Amino acid sequence: MKYPVIKGTSYTLIQTPGLLLQQATLKGSQLSHSIKDQLRSFDSVVRYPPNQAFIGNLLPEDLLNIPRPWYNNALSEGKRQGKLGEIFPEDEFLGVLNAVDVYGLVCLEAGFKQSILQKLRYHPALCMLKGIKTAQNDSFSNEEVHKMIETREALPLIFGGQIIGCVRKATVSDSTLTASRVLENLTAKASAVAALQLLLSKTGLKPQDVDYIIEASEEACGDNRQKGGGSFAKSIAEACSCSNASGADTRAFCAAPVHALMQAAALVQSGIFTNVIVVAGGCSAKLGLNAEIHLEHNMPVLEDILGAFAFHISKDDGINPIIRTDLIGRMNVGCGDSPQQVYHSLIAEPLTKGGYRIVDMDRYAAELVNPEIIEPTGCGDIAKRNYSMIASLGILRGEIDRSEIEEQIHRFGVPGFAPNQGHIPSGVPYIGLARDLILGNKVNQVMIIGKGSLFLGKLTRLYDALSLIIQRNPK
């Protein structure tokens, strides 16, 4: 059987301290001044070890050799560019935010806009965005920007402690198109556009050859009468000049990226499309989610970055790793919430169907949130907890001896390293690294696991999970 392959990946981190402070203000936090004192510099974000793993300059396993806390043991040298992606500063992101806005809602001060567009035109990937090449002829004086903010028509955009622009509300009466919602939606779009543009630049895939885009973030774009109607996907395609592409959004909370990968693989294997992109931007509402707890622990505010990714799924080329579409693990409605049953359905059933044991997987990647961010909240190391459950399942199946449990967890468990952005850590940050390891003949097969909290929407008490296996191409 010919399986679809993962032909390319890209990952983006964007430091947004200005947006973080704005979120704190919108939520009524009394700690905005304290947060400001604990903000990181862009250099410290670049040299932070988990961020270097996210863009492919380190393996997550390498983090185990770096003493914690990692924020006190920054790398002596950190690179903004990585094999798999790039870390962007906030000023460049604000330029992209303006470039992807087609309704004139992002209003930048004239001097800032001119300087940042000039900077972006030298970026090897972002320079190709049509909103950068031929920018809209709208810029505003400092007085005009402040007037829109003072009349509550707009929210301020801040860089370096200075107001350099604002985001206007889209309508007067629609509560789903307030300035804060417009900013959330454009943030998700702009970060996803940056990730896709990096993917196109790194892989050489031509925009006109993209057939379909599936967007898998956690935002819900719409208006008062259809709050989650979308479509982020098509707007991202438009911004990146994918003129022959169509697309749609997939939503399943944190599990959405793995659902989207499954859908992309099915579209390619069925022959409906040849080149499908799975993409997701960052979630501004998650910025500073645990800032108060981090401040209590005398930590820097680590949730100051947006994450984004893009994957290229295409037909079998005899080279790239395949997605085993016949071995999808899923958590059915009738599965219940017993951990034993969940992991049996998600892990054991697809492995058994393929004739594999628990120990036959070289790596498992699940809920890869950076433990340094989440442990102070009392949640512990979420990724490691998943691997303990997988190892326990192996014991029950007689495939792992109890004396080997820690050794096996260390062998097959991918340490957490991703920003706490909900859908971003959900297994998929390891796909680019897994692809490289498989192509380099260092591992044979990896299981990616996405889990989502469906109960957050108050429609069901269920949660969701999906797994898929990436393997060396049998040629």
Helix (H/G/I), strand (E/B), else coil: 368: coil
pLDDT of residue 168: 95
Instruction: Tell me the pLDDT tens digit for each residue of 193-221.
Output: 999 999 999 999 999 999 999 999 999 89
pLDDT tens column, 388-447: 999 999 999 999 999 999 999 999 999 999 999 989 999 999 999 999 999 999 999 999
Per-residue pLDDT, 211 = 98
Mean pLDDT estimate for the chain = 94
396 domain-assigned: yes
- What is the per-residue pLDDT for 137? 76
Distance from C-alpha of 323 to C-alpha of 471, rounded to nearest angstrom: 7
Closest to 331 in 3D by CA, of 345, 318, 314: 345
Q: Is residue 465 part of a domain?
A: yes
* Amino acid 229: pLDDT: 87
Q: Is residue 174 part of a domain?
A: no
Q: Given this model, what pLDDT does residue 7 score? A: 98
Q: Look up the pTM and report it.
A: 0.96
Whether 451 contacts 465, CB under 8 Å: yes
Distance from C-alpha of 79 to C-alpha of 87, rounded to nearest angstrom = 8
How large is the average pLDDT for residues 50-62?
Answer: 97
Stretch 444-465: mean pLDDT, rounded?
A: 93
Residue 394 is part of a domain; what is its CATH number? 3.40.47
Looking at the domain assignment, is residue 366 inside a domain? Answer: yes
Secondary structure class of 417 (helix, strand, coil): coil
Q: How many CA atoms lie within 13 A of 466 on its CB side?
A: 20
Given a cut of 80, whether residue 153 has pLDDT beyond it is yes
pLDDT bracket for residue 31 (50, 70, 90): low
SS3 10: strand
If you average pLDDT over residues 239-252, what whole number do you get? 97
Q: What is residue 339's predicted lDDT score, i.e. its pLDDT?
A: 84
* DSSP codes joined into one string, 271-332: TS-SEEEEEE---GGGTTTTHHHHHHTT------EEEEEEEEEES--SSSPEE-TT--EE--
Please report whether residue 427 resides in a domain. yes
Q: What pLDDT is stored for residue 135 in this prediction?
A: 72
Over range 33-59, report the average pLDDT: 93
pLDDT at 133: 86
How many CB atoms neighbour CB 203 within 10 A? 15
Confirm whether 361 is domain-assigned: yes
Tens-place pLDDT, residues 68-111: 999 999 999 899 999 999 999 999 999 999 999 999 999 999 99
17 within some domain: no
Q: How many Å apart are CA 266 and CA 280, to the nearest integer? A: 19
204 vs 133, 208, 312, CA distance in Å?
Answer: 19, 11, 11
Q: Which of 258, 195, 183, 267 is nearest to 221 (CA)?
A: 183
Structural domain includes residue 372: yes
Q: What is the model's pLDDT at position 29?
A: 63
Residue type, 138: D
Question: Which of 177-181, 224-228, 253-257 shows the highest mean pLDDT?
Answer: 253-257
**pLDDT recorded at residue 302:** 95
| Segment 132-146 mean pLDDT | 87
The number of distinct structural domains making up the chain is: 1
Range of the domain at 439: 322-471
Say what the alpha-carbon torsion angle 330, 211, 203, 418 is, to the nearest 10 degrees. -30
pLDDT digits (tens, 9 = 90+) for 253-278: 999 999 999 999 999 999 999 999 99
* CA-only gyration radius of the chain, Å: 22
Is the pLDDT confidence value at 34 over 90?
A: no
Residue 425 pLDDT: 96
